[in-house]
Amino acid sequence: MSRNKARLVAMQGLFQLDDDREGMKLVIEFRAGEEELAPRDSKYLEELVNSVVDNQAAIDERIGKYSIGWDISRLGKVERAILRLAIAEMLYMTDIPVSVSINEAVLLAKKYGADQASKFINGILGKFSREEMDADPANRAKRKDPRQ
């Protein structure tokens, strides 16, 4: 349950990414304190946000590739933040099954995004997953959800 809180804090901080990186850091620190994240979840939060910041150009390129007909700048800030964190989680947080990353992103979109955001995000992440994550058999086996 606490990784859910860490994802929420990451989304809230990444919402600031386009405007103010220092503001992003402050939002994350403040919200992480409010949520009283466990040390393990704070570490996860830091790794996730750093993965987005360090790889933003590559992540944004993938969002652009799979959001056919939508320039990334036209996406809402909430949707952009959710997509960034989900793709970063899928690419760089190898201990998390891809299906969990997608499901958590859709849940965030349902709660915080625009009306049809969850469907839009699910479509982009599903296509990304099928075309990039499932293409490599080693990656597919390593990232399979053990509950399936």
Domains of the chain: 2-142 (1.10.940.10)
Q: What is the pLDDT of residues 64-120, one digit of tens each?
A: 999 988 888 889 999 999 999 999 999 999 889 999 999 999 999 999 999 899 999
**Residues 86 and 101: beta-carbon distance below 8 Å:** yes
pLDDT of residue 148: 47
End-to-end Cα separation, the chain, in angstroms: 19
Report CA torsion sign: 130, 136, 138, 139. Answer: negative
Q: What is the pLDDT of residues 121-139, one digit of tens each?
A: 999 999 999 999 887 665 5
Q: List pLDDT tens digits, range 10-65.
A: 888 787 777 677 777 777 888 788 888 888 888 888 899 889 988 999 999 999 99
pLDDT band at 145 (very low <50, low <70, confident <90, very high): low
pLDDT on residue 138 = 58
What's the confidence (pLDDT) of residue 78? 93
Single pTM value for the model: 0.85
